[in-house]
Amino acid sequence: MTRVVVLGGTGHIGGYLIPRLVAAGHEVVVLSRGKAEPYRPHAAWRAVTAVSADRDEEERTGAFGARLRQLAPDVVIDLICFRPDSARQLVEALHGRIQHFLHCGTIWVHGASTQVPATEDLPRRPFGEYGVAKAEIESYLLDQARRHGFPVTLLHPGHICGPGWPPVNPAGNLDLDVFRKLAAGEELVLPNLGMETLHHVHADDVAQSFTAAMTHRSVALGESFHVVSPAALTLRGYAEAVAGWYGQEARLSYLGWEQWRETVDADSAALTWDHIAHSPNAAIGKARRLLEFQPRYSSLEAIHEALEWLAARGDLPALNPNSP
């Protein structure tokens, strides 16, 4: 039995990953702050060992690596590493002691799209604090794999969505009023020409990618993989699809960025800019070929499920029951 320690396993990905790991017969330990219930309740959690730890505080004192090493893992899955120094602490503590280390990255490592769909071998040109840090982590971990044989695999999700998580909307931010306008047949103003792209992925497909990498360890070691739906969406196409789910025809208009940003609050504008400046569109051929990764959800299917969850909570109007 393989002993798998998951860091951040109570989050959105973990809600799907933990049941998959338990069903596969692994011994699962989830290390978290212990302050949150899993996003997705499941009977599998009864078979999980929960360990409470404040990662930030223990990393500050240099104790976190030793804590993880004492758990004697065969495999470590890190879903919440956001700083290069965090990755370094784990590598130093675990080198020569584990069979596989899986890191959750992001397609933000690419920066702005140059060639689409982007493949994993394109040069990295990240921007923004998050993307730059994640690209530095990727570079460090792959260097450790190639120079010192550290058994790492990096999986780069797109915009994670599904039940329990509001999806990035057709304006590239998290304002639920965008969906409400489309549901009501009201005009929605999009930035530029609405041709920038978003690339969603269902949380269960992200979870699938981790178990697939474990299964295909021999070809996954020392590699990065995109983990997204089969196709990205334009803002315009996304808006039109959502309007259709409510039995409406999308009433769209467009403004140049400098004008559009003045129509929303500063936080929404900043989030939209981050998304449209990246305009991700990632290829998954490598993951299909080497990991046999087969996403169950298209972008729209994943978003549809997320909107159904929001509607059930009363946060959005109910979708047309005949919508796809």
57 and 85 belong to one structural domain: yes
Helix axes 177-184, 235-245, angle to 10 degrees: 60
pLDDT in tens, 240-276: 999 999 999 999 999 999 999 999 999 999 999 999 9
pLDDT in tens, 6-23: 999 988 999 999 999 999
In a domain, 108, yes or no: yes
Averaged pLDDT for residues 152-169: 96
pLDDT in tens, 195-240: 999 999 999 999 999 999 999 999 999 999 999 999 999 999 999 9
Of 153, 154, 161, 165, nearest to 205 by C-alpha is 161
16 and 91 belong to one structural domain: yes
Q: In whole angstroms, what is the distance from residue 40 CA to residue 309 CA?
A: 12
123 and 71 belong to one structural domain: yes
In a domain, 294, yes or no: no
11 and 80 belong to one structural domain: yes
Domain count, the chain: 2
Q: In whole angstroms, what is the distance from residue 301 CA to residue 61 CA?
A: 44
* Backbone torsions φ then ψ of 9, nearest 5 degrees: -75, -10
Amino acid at 264: V
248 and 222 belong to one structural domain: no
Using the predicted structure, report yes or no on whether residue 166 has a pLDDT greater than 70.
yes
The CATH number for 118's domain is: 3.40.50.720
In a domain, 293, yes or no: no
- Rounded to the nearest 5 degrees, what angle is found at the Cα of 221, between the Cα atoms of 20 and 108? 80
62 and 209 belong to one structural domain: yes
Give the domain extent around 177. 165-199+233-280+299-312
In a domain, 213, yes or no: yes
